[in-house]
Amino acid sequence: MDVVDSVWDFLGSYWWLIFVVGPAVGGVVQSIERWDRRRRQDKLEMYRIRHGAEQPAAPAPPDDGEVSAAEVARAVAAHDETQKRWLAYELDAVKSLEYPLMSDMREQVTVDFHRARRAAEDLRPDDLEELRDRRRLDRYREAVREMQVRFDVAEREARRRRASDFSPTERQALDRAKRLLAMADDEGSSQAERQSAYRRAMKELEGIVALPDAATDALEHRIAGHLDRGPGGDAPPS
């Protein structure tokens, strides 16, 4: 009892220490509580990591199930739209000169696009009903997505660089060739003007850049009657 009385006497004399020590003790208690919460969270996370793989996975849809005609149509439309965007460069000689990277097979981004384009074409059957099979549609749709991505990458790079890889002299030649090709493709120009413009444009481009075959074929087809006919408009005798 003497010890207890001494303690109470001490507390009675130094009661003010509660206001000094109390906040520190409270802070320690809060720190311990936070540590305990983190410890329990860490244990729970470790449990999830160790046993998460053992949880049953949600059932996947059957791979061999048929798909709707609308799904097939969307995949084919995405493919056709990307093809159309590519052909805008491939069939337009002037646009091809504005963005030469799009037809330059020395560029990796261009090679990557054409590889993806061929893969999508290989997976597209002549009979689109064959894409009603889930596995075939998934493979085709993924190939189309890859083609879209690769085209976007190549187009952004082509628009960023334009003709910056050419020397000033070469860029001047490209500009002249673009003007000449525009004249060659102008139905309002005379026969002699179209014929001369086309041949001068090809001369300007020698040793600088090669136009896509599809672009030159399309242009020559449009002005075929003017390239091989004489001044009178009659084809030369065979």
DSSP 98-128: HSGGGG-TTSHHHHHHHHHHHHHHHHS-SSG
Q: Is the pTM of this model over 0.75?
A: no
The answer for residues whose C-beta is within 8 angstroms of residue 109's C-beta and 6 or more apart is: 101, 150, 153, 154, 157
* DSSP H stretches of helix in the chain: 2-13, 17-51, 69-90, 93-98, 108-123, 134-161, 168-184, 191-205, 213-222, 224-227
Question: Would you write out the chain's pLDDT as a tens digit for each of its 238 residues?
Answer: 554 455 456 555 555 555 555 554 455 446 556 655 565 555 455 545 444 444 444 344 445 567 899 999 999 999 999 999 999 999 999 999 999 999 999 999 999 999 999 999 999 999 999 999 999 999 999 999 999 999 999 999 999 999 999 999 999 999 999 999 999 999 888 888 998 999 999 999 999 999 999 999 988 888 875 555 444 444 443 3
Q: Which pLDDT does position 230 carry in this prediction? A: 44
The answer for residues whose C-beta is within 8 angstroms of residue 16's C-beta and 6 or more apart is: none
Query: What DSSP character marks residue 133?
Result: B
Q: How far is Cα 5 from Cα 10, in angstroms, rounded to an integer? A: 9
Q: How far is Cα 202 from Cα 206, in angstroms, rounded to an integer? A: 6
b/e map 112-130, b = 16+ CB within 10 Å:
bbbebbebbeebbeeeeee
Q: Which pLDDT does position 189 carry in this prediction? A: 85
Q: What are phi and psi of 7, to 5 degrees?
A: -65, -45
* Nearest Cα residue to 92 out of 172, 212, 224: 212
